[in-house]
Structure 1
Amino acid sequence: MSQSPARAPRPTPRPTPRPGSRPRVVVIGAGVVGCSLADELTERGWSDVTVLDQGPLPAPGGSTSHAPGLVFRTSPSRTLTGFAAYTVEKFGTLEVDGVPCFQPVGGLEIATTGERWAELHRRAGFAASWGIRGELVPAGRCKELWPLLDERKVLGGFLTPGDGLVRAVLACRAQAARAERRGARFLGRHTVTGIERADGRVTGVVTDRGAFPADHVVSAAGFWGPVVGRMAGVDVPLLPLAHQYVRTRPLPELAGARAEASRPVLRFQDRDLYFREHTDRIGIGSYAHRPLPVDPFAVPSYDEVSTSPTRIPSVLPFTAEDFAPSWEDSRWLLPALAGSGIDEGFNGVFSFTPDGLPVIGESRALRGFWLAEAVWVTHSAGVARAVAEWMVEGRPRADVHDCDLARFEDVQRTPAYVADRGTQQFIEVYDIVHPLQPMERPRPLRVSPFHSRQRELGARFLEGGGWERPHWYEANAPLAEGLALPERDGWAARHWSPIAAAEALATRERVTMYDMTPLRRLEVSGPAAWAFLQRVTTNDLARGPGTVTYTLLLDESGGIRSDVTVARLADDRFQIGANSPADEDWLLRHAPEDTDIRDITSGTCCVAVWGPLARDLVQPLTRDDFSHRGFGYFRAKRAHLGHVPVTAMRLSYAGELGWELYTSADLGLRLWDTLWEAGQRHGVVAAGRSALNSLRLEKGYRAWGHDMTDEHTPYEAGLGFAVRMDKGDFVGRAALEKAGEPRRRLTALLLDDPADVVLGKEPVYLDGAPAGYVTSASYGYTLGRCVAYAWLPPLPAGTAAHIEYFGRALPATVAEEPLFDPGMSRIRR
């Protein structure tokens, strides 16, 4: 098989502090992230902290120096919402010379279209799910809050009273002063020229004014992150782009204003605009203009631009022609601007990643080198706290998997990919983005060996991890004719088709083929492989070759880092079914000297054959025994299907009889064709991810990163069956021993009305109060009702609840799980 080997680097312990000292930390970048981090680290007792910046302090010329300071906490990301909430909480307690660092003027998002008004209802749901106070208000109330608005243009708004404005440079000063009192030092006019290293660890930072030894180095350099990363040999996948901001001339309507700002920060997302007060003027920011990417390696130093009109490196000359349409849109919404004009403007540079989220964590390529990059002021203190916890305590207390630098595939780190996706993230900052909406470029990028056959069947592809993933096949449209399905609203109908129902029912009734190639596969081998895996997983792997075990990877606190399958293919060779690049990264960090870990995903492929007729399809193709007695559930064997050698595993994410069939990528097309031809007599159907999501929720199968993360223990997530406390020691065992009764559980809900559908992240209410949130949801085509899993307090089956969906209260009931085939008779036949 074509595989890409990767020798596991040896575990490198954290540096032992010198007697009477703390680890030496150098933070590169004295913007709001670097200053916040120094404050958080010193608060935790790490006092040997040096913060370096090329520019003068306290405003060294990065993005912090020009940031407009908006903080809107509500986000589809629970992680980002938590970061922003902490930023508000922390900065709300800081002041400099009696001037507060945060102004809680509130936030107001307005809708001028029906689609946006519906989206604001969805955002209100996010706020309720994540614990943010907010309310939907009518147009008249929007006018009261912002008298300059043309009320006739507005349908309504979403008001979040706790949001507001950060004085970013003041927040830097306040935190730097506090960190200095604890022993930190801040050095401006120090340009970093190199990162020193030895034996795979960082050892220091070189500047134009000398070297600084370090046990940990943190790059908080903002859009210079790729420059610092290159010095360390670490990819930093971010793209700097310029964003336009202007201030108007004084407005008579604001004459006499004493406060810098008293009205809520206003977002006009239908035209990619936001507004804030500057005493008697209005500041306007625009994302409506063409993307203006910036090469971070070509950005001049502070000294090179200090005498130029822009004066600081993060500010580029204003391009008035790009802002002209936004000025007209601003005057359309705020008629008072008709008699005014633009007093000043600039194009400010800041960072975007391929998925729009920060990049944080320690690099495996250079131990002790950390990233805290692509972080906006909104999330600055929250990110700093998470990174400080990670450095000092060994893990962040909040789930940060969707910000972890290890989340990106190798192909997602290429400059072209980062440029394409980073640009698109800028374009979509204020767009209404469906959770399933795929990026447009670059596609197709990664395809399975069956891609040509899938296109012939009319596959409708979505994308994840660079892979093209069929969600349904138009060839199956005739199977959907006559199905009695509830009508969906416009939101739930996006990236969905009734064909998915036909494919799910075909899996329950006949036999289907699923492309499982994009699922990550790792090979772990070596004389210590078994002992290593036994140590880092929760289930007992003391089983012979030919067995498969579902198990968990925990961190030391007992939180679920991932769920995996471990197939023992030989005494010293295992195949791991993993979730993300972060799983490989974590295993590589912990693997002993004589254990190899290889990612074999790209060199292999997988077809899953599931359904009551799966054995009828597969058995005639092989001389090997695929009977229940000869090939039991959670077993694996090498076999031959026609001319194709396969590794067959009797697993089922659909809750039906069947196998996952693996072979090398070069034989993948032959495997597909062999199965497809043999399956014609049995009515075989190619099925997609949309059907599979429905099937797995009916069976209660969890999806890591959606249903559970490292914030949750196995017992809370309903995965206690995968933990064997009697097998000996394993990572996280001590924490589980101390855990009390769960105070929350991943709970199955059935919506009462067969016509109702939810999608995920909606708030769940008990007795009229928000009590949790939906993690995953899909219509259960076998059950005839929507299934939703949610984090809630422990509740008995039959408890009534309701899920808020776009402002509608949808009744639901707590259900026993699994909802379908609780006796597992269909899988074990």
Structure 2
Amino acid sequence: MDAGCERSRSQPSGQELREDRGDETHLLGPRASSRCHGAAALWAPGSRARGRLGARPQPGGRIRPLPRRPAAPPAPRPQAARWPRSRRLRPRPRPSHAPSRRAAAAGPPAAELPAAGLPRAPALCLRPGRRGKTTLICRNTMERQSRNSDHWRWLCWCESGLSPGQSRDERCGPAGEIRAHGWIYLARRFWAREVGKMIGLEHPLIPVQHQYVVTSTIPEVKALKRELPVLRDLEGSYYLRQERDGLLFGPYESQEKMKVQDSWVTNGVPPGFGKELFESDLDRIMEHIKAAMEMVPVLKKADIINVVNGPITYSPDILPMVGPHQGVRNYWVAIGFGYGIIHAGGVGKYLSDWILHGEPPFDLIELDPNRYGKWTTTQYTEAKARESYGFNNIVGYPKEERFAGRPTQRVSGLYQRLESKCSMGFHAGWEQPHWFYKPGQDTQYRPSFRRTNWFEPVGSEYKQVMQRVGVTDLSPFGKFNIKGQDSIRLLDHLFANVIPKVGFTNISHMLTPKGRVYAELTVSHQSPGEFLLITGSGSELHDLRWIEEEAVKGGYDVEIKNITDELGVLGVAGPQARKVLQKLTSEDLSDDVFKFLQTKSLKVSNIPVTAIRISYTGELGWELYHRREDSVALYDAIMNAGQEEGIDNFGTYAMNALRLEKAFRAWGLEMNCDTNPLEAGLEYFVKLNKDQNSCFAHFKEENGWVSRWAIRPY
């Protein structure tokens, strides 16, 4: 991600943070469930694919239960003839006593969900077993109640795992009800939007018609002694691979020619839709077929035996959504896979590791479902999906921008004022200035692998902040208000740093159980027990989910509020920053009174602001948090007051250059879930003497963090 949207103000190893001063299945309702105590509902391929644990798709969408050995075999089975381990997994009863601690944390079951119109794919429900292995304890699927009915019912194969005297309904719940004492995992292809709506979530997915063509046997292909590699032609916009003794190739049309299944967008997926296909349309892909024939001449003599036109789901940026979802507890998704089942094994392993160990096994922030929010409307999602599908095979550039569906409803108060003066970048739905142009300069968007038209203007902005004073719009920062009688205890548990005193700010990091850097935030102690937390725009809901989850797990009495859209932020930085702001406030901004990393509530040009003396540029500066509707008035007042000092705008490109020179780290770039604090040079912000309430201290005690890492070279 661009450094402009990733929040970090970290310093190199052994150095204090400083500044240059200048003049100084399947469903998850709220605690809804798979009805398997302590169970994790893991990867469930679609009804057209074979299940991981040997479940076989049957006509009508049913999944045949796992094969079971005879109760009394006539003779012992030889060891060599035993079934593979995946075939031998059988339901195992769970004691009827109270659920596990992890299960209890999920709370009581609460959601009765309608059976009509639900999907047919299986939900494989497993629980952790001995030595890290998993045990299949329940499998649910759906079937139509009658051939001509649009109503569905749950089928469960748990009878062999029932406790003495326990009925199937006691174990799995009645038809149409899903309960979860652990996790619900949604992997539903084009049904994902419908399932999400049942719990109040609008998953940003659009069904797109994708066609591929299969040929008959081609003698030249049949004569090959090894399988052809997959071919991807970026100019022709198609992929091609061997299919038995023939070839299969599928094109990606331009956004003008591609077809979205609009009726599904407005009315939802037709109840009962499963293996059906759409009518083929070769005219729509003919130019790609011709390109493939030119590249692979044997196609000219081949016969087409099948044209498949089926639905695939696209997210706005083409990438799937994988992981836990903010706003609903224990809701995990693996949806939006535009390239199908090829991802199944890796994604299933990734999620199961995360569920079992409490943290992602490696960084996949680009697939985080929380990169989208309420700003991803259906109109935006459709526009971006069209663009992304059409751009499937284009060459990508550094700092690339794509403009379909923009702007969203998420614009700062300064958007209209700055729109004509700068090149805007897209950050989690926000429009934020990347760089500003002057009269006579090239204002076009010109992506390149070399220096392009923004290089000189960004250099001027860099000098502006270093030598005079500049103003930048930082409104996309994620902003959380946390207060309550347990707020200090919660934050002390969350962060590896100490909690700042009232009226002060620090940089703090949330670490995973294995000591990886999950997030970096600015923590400001505004009043006793009340905090303002700031994070990068791209990690807003990513960080909020972790905070909310830890608060619930620990039973902390706190109120957590996301105020990102309520507040605007202006950054004023440079050696003349104090001089400009002092003209607009009666508050003493001198170094002795308003110290570095201090926060105060004051008025600037009679506008209430929360001022934090900090700047991501590393220069003397303040960040001014204010009501979003006051942004224009505050900006105009600052610009007018700074005319004598030569004030001007600067964007995120210049800010990124400035922070790199100060060695300020950025989460997502110099640190993430693949790095520990020492590898990222964050030891100044990690306090090894945290008390036992801290999860970091618990990790240190359990894993010998100090003794192992103190001598590790980095």
Alignment of 1:70-89 (within 5 A): none
Please point out which of 549, 557, 570 is paired with 2:506. 549
Q: Which amino acid aligns with 1:231?
A: M
Instruction: Tell me, in whole angstroms, the C-alpha distance in 2 between the residues paired with 1:357 and 1:293.
Output: 17
Mapping for residues 263-282 of structure 1, pairs under 5 Å: 263-282=228-247
Q: Per the alignment, do residues 650 and 542 of structure 1 end up closer, same or farther by CA in structure 2, a change over 3 Å counting?
A: closer
Structure 2 counterpart of 1:142: none
Preserved contact between residue 234 and residue 363 of structure 1 (Cα < 8 Å): no
Q: 2:329 maps to what in 1?
A: 367
Correspondence 1:659-808 to 2 at 5 A: 659-729=622-692, 730-736=694-700, 738-739=704-705, 794=713
Q: How does 1:166-181 map to 2 (within 5 A)?
A: none
Contact 1:26 1:52 in 2 (8 A): no
Give me the whole-angstrom Cα distance separating, in 1, the residues matched to 2:298 and 2:194. 44
- Structure 1: which amino acid aligns with 2:341? V
The yes-or-no answer on 1:253 pairing with 2:217 is no
Where does 1:195-594 land on structure 2 (aligned, <5 Å)? 213-215=179-181, 216-256=183-223, 262-288=227-253, 290-294=257-261, 295=264, 298-300=268-270, 312-313=275-276, 315-375=277-337, 376-412=340-376, 414-445=377-408, 446-456=410-420, 458-475=421-438, 490-494=448-452, 496-543=454-501, 545-579=502-536, 580-591=540-551, 592=555, 594=557
**Secondary structure of the residue that 1:190 maps to in structure 2?**
strand
Q: Which of the residues 46, 51, 69 maps onto 1:35?
A: 51
Task: Give the aligned partner of residue 55 of structure 1.
Answer: 61
Q: Which residue of 2 aligns with 1:765?
A: none
Kept after mapping to 2: 8 A contact 1:28/1:53: no
Is the contact between residue 479 and residue 499 of structure 1 (CA under 8 Å) also seen in structure 2? no
One-letter amino acid of the counterpart of residue 733, structure 1: A
Shift of 1:17: 11
1:286, distance to aligned residue in structure 2 (A)? 0.7
C-alpha distance in 1 between matches for 2:56 and 2:356: 16
How many Å separate the matches in 1 of 2:430 and 2:413? 12
1:381-412 superposed Cα distances (whole Å, 9 cap, x missing partner):
11101111122222221123222222222212
| Cα distance, 1:542 vs structure 2 | 4.8
Say which of 636, 655, 660 aligns to 2:599. 636
- TM-fit CA distance, 1:377: 2.4
**Normalised by the size of structure 1, how large is the TM-score?**
0.64
Note the alpha carbon deviations across 1:303-327, whole angstroms, 9 max, x for none. Answer: x67xxxxxx23x3221111121111
Q: Which amino acid aligns with 1:402?
A: E
Q: Which residue of the partner structure matches residue 605 of structure 1?
A: 568
1:590–1:23 Cα change, 3 Å: same
Aligned-residue offset at 1:478: 8.3
1:415 Cα deviation (Å)?
Answer: 1.9
Letter in 1 for 2:705: A
Deviation readout 1:553-585 (Å, 9 max, x if unpaired):
112221111111111111122111112211122
The 3-state SS of whatever aligns with 1:332 is helix
- How many angstroms does 1:13 deviate by? 10
Residues 722 and 335 (structure 1), Cα distance of their counterparts in 2 relative to 1, 3 Å cut = same
Distance in 2 between residues matched to 1:418 and 1:35, nearest whole Å: 30
Q: CA RMSD in A?
A: 4.0
Q: Against the structure 1 CA distance between its residues 495 and 381, is the aligned structure 2 distance closer, same or farther, given a 3 Å change threshold?
A: farther
Measured after TM superposition, the shift of residue 725 of structure 1 is 2.1
Mapped contact 1:26–1:205 kept (Cα < 8 A): no
- 1:688-738 CA-to-partner distances (Å, cap 9, x unmatched) read 111011011111111112221122211111111111122423223333452
- Give the distance between the partners of 1:672 and 1:354, measured in 2 at CA: 33
Alignment partners' CA distance in 1, 2:233 and 2:245: 20
| Equivalent residue number for residue 73 of structure 2 | none
Q: Distance in 1 between matches of 2:378 and 2:189?
A: 17
Distance of aligned partners of 1:409 and 1:182 in 2 relative to their CA distance in 1, 3 Å threshold? closer
**Counterpart residue number, 1:42:** none
Letter in 2 for 1:582: H
**How far apart are residue 34 of structure 1 and its match?**
8.8
Q: 1:476 to 1:641 in 2, by over 3 A?
A: farther
Find the aligned partners of 2:86 and 2:41 in 1 and give their Cα distance.
Answer: 26
SS of the equivalent of 1:223 reads helix
Task: Name the structure 2 match of 1:163.
Answer: none
Which residue number corresponds to residue 163 of structure 2? none
Cα displacement string for residues 214-265 of structure 1 (whole angstroms, at most 9, x for unaligned residues) = 43322211121112222333332222212110012433423545x7x61111
Residues 1:350 and 1:689: Cα distance change in structure 2 (over 3 Å): same
Matched AA of 2:243:
H
CA distance in 2, matches of 1:241, 1:634: 50
Judging by fraction of residues, say which structure has more strand. 1
Indicate conservation of the 8 Å contact 2:47/2:57, yes or no. no
Is contact 2:468–2:647 with CA below 8 Å preserved after alignment? yes
Residue 644 of structure 2 aligns to a residue in which SS?
helix
Give the drift of 1:370.
2.2
- State the match for 2:143 in structure 1: 190
Question: 2:517·2:671 contact (CA, 8 Å) conserved in 1?
Answer: yes
Partner of 1:218, secondary structure, is strand
Deviation string 1:567-626 (CA, Å, 9 cap, x unpaired) is 111112211111221112222223355321222222211111111111121112221110
Q: Is the 8 A contact 1:52 1:190 kept in 2?
A: no
CA distance in 2, matches of 1:13, 1:245: 41
Instruction: Say whether 1:23 aligns with 2:66.
Output: no
Contact map agreement 1:526 1:573 (CA 8 A) in 2: yes
Identity %: 25
For 1:475 and 1:535, locate their aligned partners in 2 and report how far apart those are by CA, in whole Å. Answer: 49
Kept after mapping to 2: 8 A contact 1:50/1:184: no
Q: 1:325 to 1:205 in 2, by over 3 A?
A: farther
Q: 1:300 to 1:95 in 2, by over 3 A?
A: farther
The alpha-carbon deviation at position 547 of structure 1 amounts to: 0.4
For 2:184, the aligned partner's letter is V
Amino acid at match of 1:500: V
